[in-house]
Chain A
């Protein structure tokens, strides 16, 4: 993108800052405050979900049952997924959107500030309700995050609470998505045409449409589960004429676009970071936009690749296989464009750039293993094995989570006004990138050798790689404490950040001082 911006930030009224005390955070309608709330919440949930991951890996350190009952293990795998997806990754992206989108498009705030406050404050209550189910009679949900009936219907007292928590999380996401669409459509500064918008804004716009389209589908599916359980309906009850496989179709009609909801904003982040540290405009801006839209469209017609082994007509298997493989085309466009942006650039390797490059390499590994899973006959072998676990963790940890960490380092000086400790940042990166691979790469081998997922015990031949994976997991988990330390240190003080922060940074958010004033762009900037 080659937009030139003039630093026409309006004079910022220093007398009108935030309210003081706790009520500032409860009643705030400021996009920066709400962005901070989202990011803090996501970080807290990242550690909660991380503790669950550590418990899972500790149990799998060696064969046999060591630490927990199998039911509790199943609760941990289920809750780990729900917490990480709905509590950590999605809120982190919404937090980044809140902070950055208004500043990137020259808007004074989000379009619907009170709705924004509600979108956030639903979340802690939903998360608390979800986590509280672990302490209920019969334990928390243990049937996997996919909530397939009839297994899910066997959940104890926790069942309605889980459903209600999912409803609340969905409502929060849809309200956030509506706010983002309206902000981008109606609040752009004069001259900020759609095809001048930063890629992060574009990817979030498309993500928001995906959210509005599919979160109601999930809500509908879990509502039908609820009525099957309590109101004697038979949507998914075979004994009453229903079809449990229908739930799987509906769930994955939500679930596959959800996967892209979790990764498209990451594409946007990487598309911001790489040009900055390559000191070149993004290669193929418009093709990036069209590739993102293509991926979003394709996400609606590939859902049944999650269900090849359930059974479907051969033509359906062929359709879903080829449609899934087609996604590699726009994704490849993106990867090649990132590489082309770096090509002959004046590259420097600050921590955000390191995370962005690691994203490109490791996400591509996750993409390739996804292509392997798309091959229907091969999927019959890989399905429900650790190969799938390895695949989606490469996409979601070295993909989504690495992008969020890169974004945090990239924009932290803009948020706090202080540079983070670059040396510690690099330590955090290298520890993370080494141990995340020690953690997840062996899981490919385990899956190919036939180790099933979602089991607390396993055959002895899987012991060695499980031990290595667990060691990598604990080291990766411990490395994230360093991330927490670096972020807190940057909030508390450090070298003063300039307005532009990075030499190669382009875009409206870099035209305001660091830290960004409480109200930015009270008068719309000019975009040329």
Chain B
């Protein structure tokens, strides 16, 4: 296993995770929205 990747500043790591979660939530939300909009 490669183990020597320079470790990220924990603040950057958390910021990355937060932004990724936000974008993931947007994607899931759009998926649900387009199905719900087609329910009658």
Known: A16-B2, A112-B20, A181-B23. A186 touches B35 (CB 8 A): no
**CB-nearest residue of chain A relative to B38?**
A235
In the complex the two chains form, is A216's CB within 8 Å of B5's CB?
Answer: no
In the complex the two chains form, is A30's CB within 8 Å of B5's CB?
Answer: yes
The B-contacting residues of A in range 1-27, CB under 8 angstroms, are 13, 16-19, 27
In the complex the two chains form, is A224's CB within 8 Å of B3's CB?
Answer: no
Interface size on B, residues (CB 8 A): 27
**CB-nearest residue of chain A relative to B31?**
A216
**CB-nearest residue of chain A relative to B40?**
A241
Q: Give the shortest distance, in Å, between A54 (CB) and chain B (any CB).
A: 36
* Cα distance, A230 to B22, chains bound together (Å): 32
Known: A182-B23, A186-B16, A216-B31. A28 touches B38 (CB 8 A): no
In the complex the two chains form, is A181's CB within 8 Å of B19's CB?
Answer: yes
In the complex the two chains form, is A187's CB within 8 Å of B12's CB?
Answer: yes
**CB-nearest residue of chain B relative to A247?**
B38
Interface of A (DSSP majority class):
helix
Q: Give the shortest distance, in Å, between B25 (CB) and chain A (any CB).
A: 10
**CB-nearest residue of chain B relative to A220?**
B34
In the complex the two chains form, is B26's CB within 8 Å of A212's CB?
Answer: yes
The B-contacting residues of A in range 199-255, CB under 8 angstroms, are 212-213, 215-217, 219-221, 223-224, 235, 241, 246, 250
| Chain B CB within 8 A of A279 CB | no
* Cα distance, A519 to B5, chains bound together (Å): 7
Q: Specify which chain B residues have a CB less than 8 angstroms from the CB of A220 in the assembled complex.
A: 30-35
Q: Specify which chain B residues have a CB less than 8 angstroms from the CB of A17 in the assembled complex.
A: 2
* Cα distance, A185 to B2, chains bound together (Å): 26
- Interface membership of chain B positions 5-40, coded 1 if the CB is closer than 8 angstroms to chain A and 0 otherwise: 110100010011101100110111111111100101
* Cα distance, A522 to B4, chains bound together (Å): 10
| Chain B CB within 8 A of A165 CB | no
* Cα distance, A267 to B32, chains bound together (Å): 32
Known: A112-B16, A250-B34. A29 touches B5 (CB 8 A): yes
| Chain B CB within 8 A of A364 CB | no
Known: A182-B23, A186-B19, A217-B30. A16 touches B4 (CB 8 A): yes
Known: A182-B19, A185-B19, A246-B38. A522 touches B6 (CB 8 A): yes
In the complex the two chains form, is B31's CB within 8 Å of A113's CB?
Answer: no
In the complex the two chains form, is A28's CB within 8 Å of B27's CB?
Answer: no
In the complex the two chains form, is A115's CB within 8 Å of B6's CB?
Answer: no
* Cα distance, A215 to B24, chains bound together (Å): 12
Known: A212-B23, A519-B4. A186 touches B30 (CB 8 A): no
In the complex the two chains form, is A224's CB within 8 Å of B6's CB?
Answer: no
In the complex the two chains form, is B5's CB within 8 Å of A224's CB?
Answer: no
* Cα distance, A155 to B6, chains bound together (Å): 50
Q: Specify which chain A residues have a CB less than 8 angstroms from the CB of B6 in the assembled complex.
A: 108, 519, 522-523
- Report which A residues bind B (CB closer than 8 A): 13, 16-19, 27-30, 108-109, 111-113, 115, 174, 177-179, 181-182, 185-187, 212-213, 215-217, 219-221, 223-224, 235, 241, 246, 250, 518-519, 522-523
16 contacts between A and B (CB under 8 A): A16-B2, A108-B5, A111-B16, A113-B5, A178-B20, A185-B19, A186-B15, A186-B16, A186-B19, A215-B27, A217-B30, A217-B34, A220-B33, A223-B31, A223-B35, A522-B6
In addition to A109-B5, A112-B20, 4 A-B residue pairs with Cβ atoms within 8 Å of each other are A19-B2, A178-B27, A216-B34, A519-B4
The 7 closest A-B pairs by CB, nearest first: A16-B4, A220-B34, A216-B31, A216-B30, A111-B16, A522-B6, A178-B23
